[in-house]
Amino acid sequence: MIQSRRKKGRNFKQGASEKEKKIIELAKIAWNKTLKEFYYPPLNEPNYVFDYTHLEGFYIDPDHRWQITMNLANTPILKDDQEYIDYFYIISLHEVSHYQIIPYDGLINAKLLRSAMEYVNQNYAPIVVNIFADLIIDTKLFKKYTDLIIWEMCETYKHLNSKGPMSNFSKFLFRAYEKMWNKDVIGDETLKEMDSLAGKVSKIILKDFEDESTWEKKVSQIANNLNILIQDTFTLIGTRGILDRNKEKRKSPGGAFVEVPKDVLEIMDNPLENKNSDKLKEGNDDSLQQKSEEFAKNIPYSEFGGPARQAGILVDGSTLAAWYRGLAKNLIEIKIFEQKPGGQLPIYPELWRIGDRIEELDIVQSLLNSPVIIPNITTRKWAFTAGPGHLIEQEIPDLLIVLDSSGSMGWNYTSRSISGRGPYHTALVAAFASLHYAASKGAKFSIINFSNRADICQWTSNYKKAEKTLLRYQGGGTFLPIEEITNQCEKAEKKALVFIITDFGIYNWSKAKKAMLNLVEKGHKIVGFFIGSKKIPKDKFKSLFDRVTFYGIGNPKDLISLVIKEVQNYYV
């Protein structure tokens, strides 16, 4: 196992030799120089080790996800201290670039992994992303540190070549760098065996090189080109698979164990590891959740979970809930207003009589009427009328979501098309949008998921409990749970806002209408979402139209920027 192998390494505090202590000092100088180059990014200093059983030079410690480990055991033998500093400097620049340039964070990482998965197995997707990132990073470094990066590449090649024949994958990597830089760096004719493939990949990356918006498309194209080479190089094996003596076993973020050539591990560290800055932070679950929700927008469910989980942005354990949360984000806004009077407006002067309040007497108007003020004759006051009222937004009340999960509300969330996901998908998007708007405003909420029976989430502020109830599709008959709705309204601390989300194919509709009117009489507000059609059947709901608000929802697109308004006529 990888973790047990790592424990065999010695760090600086565990009795390092004098030579190892010296190398660690030089590595620290290079690391600090790298941080200065990147204006001191928020990265912890690496844990320096000498692990002779572990070929990777850099990796994230799985036991401490915010800690980089720098393994100095396989450093090439160099001439002097300055060469060691230069070597560690260019390696550190490369490594930090993964967290500062590409893939940078979990969201970008997830998007690139998704693109790679169009053509390669999810266990191999990180390989494609890492190759793409490495070629971009080192080409940027080549432009700034040309001599230094050429020297480091030659030293690495000599070091690996001295150990025996290289894999075709490593040959491809070296030749791809030469194609990217348009320079014959290594001078080895055998690398030209990979000319065709290296040329295609470098051409894809170099086109609009600085345009980051092309990254996803480029990763997809590279995955298509490298698919055969990757399958020939890396082997999916079981937990007790027999290793090729030139390969080592590593666990993919996709969950499988993979044989990786030893020379590849030395060139690019673990190609299965997803490197992004979010994996080096702790206590950032809220930020990761926001990124998972952003990633979920406009992509099928089948393309969401794998990349999000591998990139480390899926933190709450419920892939389906996170996906719906992302689809529903910011689609619905709920506004509750009170109508307030606008005050008194003067409209015309009229006679002021003795007995009227003295403060109502308008001296100016009286003198304008006559220079001699005579009570009851020349005295004047203003007649007033009520001015126009105005709306004041109030806090939204507690929200009761009543969701129809009957058989007529079919559900197939794995469908790639919106129409194929069924009415329940649209209903869930509406429910999630409403739930999370209420949660963001600090309101409490309750859920009734109904079909043949009512599955109830009691009043709570915990949206994860509510989400679980929403996702329990039943697929039976359609009986509106009138008693349960009434009971939940009675349990509410405030007058409830009730959202009924259904296709309104309800068997007990006559009785349900009476119950709705009764709830409205008691001060509760009811909003109905008619799923499956934009047109509301007025003949069916005519007795409710002046008391209940209805919205026709043909598909989730109809929810975009939907503002639900309720106005209470209230005068003080």
What percentage of the chain has pLDDT greater than the value 70? 92
pLDDT-derived band of residue 521, with 50, 70 and 90 as boundaries? very high
Give the model's pLDDT for residue 554: 86
What are the structural domains, with CATH classification, of the chain?
1-100 (no CATH), 104-283 (no CATH), 343-387 (no CATH), 396-566 (3.40.50.410)
What percentage of the chain has pLDDT greater than the value 90? 60
Q: Is the pLDDT of residue 6 over 50?
A: no
Give mean pLDDT, residues 214-230.
98
Average pLDDT, the chain: 88
pLDDT tens per residue, range 155-188: 999 999 888 889 999 999 999 999 999 999 998 9
Phi, psi dihedrals of residue 52, rounded to the nearest 5°: -80, -5
Give the model's pLDDT for residue 3: 32
380-386 and 68-71 as β-strands: parallel, antiparallel, unpaired?
unpaired
**According to the per-residue pLDDT averaged within each range, which of 199-208, 250-259, 472-481 is highest?**
199-208
Residue tagged 């403060």 (tokens): 359
Provide DSSP, 444-456. -EEEEEESSSEEE
- The number of helix segments (H) and strand segments (E) in the chain equals 19, 18
Other Cβ atoms within 10 Å of 89 Cβ, number: 22
pLDDT tens per residue, range 457-512: 999 999 999 999 999 999 998 889 999 999 999 999 988 999 999 987 778 877 88
Give the model's pLDDT for residue 280: 87
pLDDT-derived band of residue 15, with 50, 70 and 90 as boundaries? low
Give mean pLDDT, residues 101-106.
95
Q: Is the pLDDT of residue 119 over 90?
A: yes
Q: Is the pLDDT of residue 394 over 80?
A: no
Give mean pLDDT, residues 401-419.
93
Give mean pLDDT, residues 264-282.
92
Give the model's pLDDT for residue 62: 64
Other Cβ atoms within 10 Å of 339 Cβ, number: 14
Alpha carbon 121 to chain centroid, angstroms? 23
Q: Is the pLDDT of residue 7 over 60?
A: no
**Region of poorest pLDDT, from 32-36, 62-66, 116-120, 409-413:** 62-66
Give mean pLDDT, residues 371-389.
78
DSSP state of 164: S
**How many residues are given for the chain?**
572
Provide the token pair at 371.
């220079």
DSSP state of 128: H
Give the model's pLDDT for residue 2: 31
| Contact of 139 with 203, CB cutoff 8 Å | no
- Residue in 129, 506, 521, 43 with CA at minimum distance from that of residue 310: 129
Burial group, residue 386, by CB count within 10 angstroms (0-12, 13-18, 19+): exposed
Q: Could you check whether the bond before residue 103 is cis, i.e. omega within 30 degrees of 0?
A: yes
Q: Is the pLDDT of residue 247 over 50?
A: yes
Q: Is the pLDDT of residue 437 over 70?
A: yes
**Region of poorest pLDDT, from 121-135, 294-308, 324-338:** 324-338
Sign of CA dihedral 133, 136, 137, 142: positive
pTM for the full model? 0.85
Give the model's pLDDT for residue 288: 94
Give the model's pLDDT for residue 183: 93
Give mean pLDDT, residues 293-310.
95
Residue 296 CA to residue 110 CA, distance in Å, equals 10
Residue 241 CA to residue 445 CA, distance in Å, equals 51
Give the model's pLDDT for residue 479: 87
**Higher-scoring residue by pLDDT: 566, 171:** 171
